[in-house]
Amino acid sequence: MSATRPLHLAAEIGGPPRYDAASHVALARLAEGGALDFVTLGDSFARPGPDALAVLARVAPATSRIGLVPTVTTTHTEPFHISSAVATLDWVSGGRAGWQADVSTTEAEARLFGRRPAAPASALWQEAGEAADAGARLWDSWEDDAEVRDAATGRFIDRDKLHYVDFEGSTFSVRGPAIVPRPPQGRPVTVIDGTSGPAREPAARYADVVHVRATSPEQAASLRDDLRRGAAAHGRDPDSLRVLVALTVDLGDAETAPEPGLESGPQLAGRGTYFRGGPVDLAELITQWYQGGAADGFHLTPITPERDLERIVNGTVALLQHRSLFRTFYPGGTLREHLGLGRPANRYAPARTPEGTS
């Protein structure tokens, strides 16, 4: 692999449920101070907590560079609404939006809506992939220059540059076009946790960033290779995929020494792999795994956000920056630019020359 491939770092700012704006803003600003690619905010209908996309919309004007990636579940929500809300997050943040697609598998969640029974994860992940696909088509359904404001003909838009998506999924259909004009990034960044079997296929096919949980660099590298092969099989350039290792980190009070017995690496726990140690140990682990080609970067979930995120930024990230492994400032403005991902061409737009026709 290329030695010049940049390292990507992201952090979760959830934790115990909080409903005020100030605590979320403080954490996002802290992460922005470390020039992290993006922050995530987990969400689920199954446990207390605010609507994550709403929180990150509230955070957007209070930050200026950091990417904002709320979890959005696709099982009980209308795909059309999801695409509108995520596109709007991109508009209000000036091109810093992403979304982490997730599914709601439990009967308890199904009863909150009363529309359909719980379904197996495989069916729900297929649907999540379709929601991502429909969303991307809706984001493309306006060409970038569709708004013409042509006073001579009285036309606000050129309707030939708006497109019906006519999407037929297994559980929903969408006519289109979108209500929201194409967002600043063209398509906001789609993130999927691709560790579990049913999520792997939609992740390889539709995600820009894939999180994987792994207890060893070999396992991470294997998952990454698998995802890249899957992407290629779907006609994608594997280099358009960023695979980040998901780590739950407890930087505790330890300054350097990892928890006895865990020196060899992180352990699998819950939705992330659990790492306990000091900020320097975390920097060492990131350096080794990254340089060994296990991942494009890391998604860190601090176990106690206020304490551990501060240690990540001022300890781990500062050290990685000192080693010239991680950026010290944002060279670009959008999340896609942080991730080194191009702005997608519009699938509906014919290739036009500057003169206007192909």
Partner 1 sequence: MKQMHLAAHFPGVNSTTVWADPRSRSQIDFTSFEHLARTAERGKFDFFFLAEGLRLREHNGRIHDLDVVGRPESLTVLNALAAVTERLGLAATVNATFNEPYELARRLATLDHLSAGRAAWNVVTSSDAFTGENFRRGGYLDRADRYTRAAEFVSTARELWDSWAPDGTSRPFAHSGRHFEISGEFTVPRSPQGHPVVIQAGDSDEGREFAASTADVIFTRHGTLEAGRAFYADVKARLAKYGRQPDDLRIMPGVTVVVGDTDADAEQDAAEIRRLQVSPQNAILALEQVWGRDLSSYDPDGPLPAVDPDPGSSIVQGRVRVADPLGVAAKWRALSESKGLSIRETVIESTVRQSFIGSPETVAADLEKFVATDAADGFILVPHLTPGGLDDFVDRVVPLLQERGAFRSEYTGSTLRSHLGLAEPVWKG
- Residues near partner 1 (CB under 8 A) are 17, 19-21, 25, 44-45, 47-51, 53-55, 57-62, 76-78, 80-81, 84-85, 87-89, 91-94, 108-109, 111-115, 142, 147, 149, 151, 153-159, 162, 171-181
Nearer to partner 1, 80 or 125 (CB): 80
Q: Which two tokens stand for residue 143?
A: 């060409």
Q: Which is nearer to partner 1, 131 or 243 (CB)?
A: 131
For residue 271 the two structure tokens come to 């939705």
CA pseudo-torsion sign 9, 311, 333, 61: positive
Q: Which of 194, 218, 217 is nearest to 206 (CA)?
A: 194
Amino acid residing at 268: L
**In this structure, what DSSP letter does residue 68 have?**
E
Nearer to partner 1, 31 or 249 (CB): 31
Rounded CA Rg of the chain: 20
Nearer to partner 1, 34 or 49 (CB): 49
Nearest distance, CB of residue 257 and partner 1, angstroms: 39
Q: How far is the CB of 86 from partner 1 (least distance, A)?
A: 9
What token pair was written down for 83? 């695409």
Beta carbons of 190 and 99 less than 8 angstroms apart = yes
Closest approach, Cβ 25 to partner 1, in A, equals: 8
Nearest-approach distance from CB 36 to partner 1, in angstroms: 20
Q: Does an H or E element contain 87, and which?
A: helix 79-92
Name the minimum Å distance from CB 258 to partner 1: 35
Instruction: Round to whole Å and give the CA distance between 242 and 11.
Output: 15
Nearer to partner 1, 108 or 345 (CB): 108
Give the shortest CB-148-to-partner 1 separation in angstroms: 9
> Which is nearer to partner 1, 175 or 350 (by Cβ)?
175
Q: How far is the CB of 73 from partner 1 (least distance, A)?
A: 9
> How far is C-alpha 127 from the chain's CA centre?
18
104 versus 273: smaller Cβ distance to partner 1: 104
Handedness of CA 5, 140, 299, 193 (dihedral sign): negative
Residue 124 CB, nearest approach to partner 1 (Å): 14
Asked whether the beta carbons of 210 and 242 are under 8 A apart, the reply is: yes
Distance from the first to the final alpha carbon of the chain? 37
Angle at 84 between CA 237 and CA 55, to 5 degrees: 95
What distance in Å separates the CA atoms of residue 345 and residue 333, rounded to the nearest whole number? 19
User: Which of the 8 DSSP states describes residue 317?
Assistant: I
User: Please, which residue, 98 or 176, has the CB nearer to partner 1?
Assistant: 176
SS3 32: helix
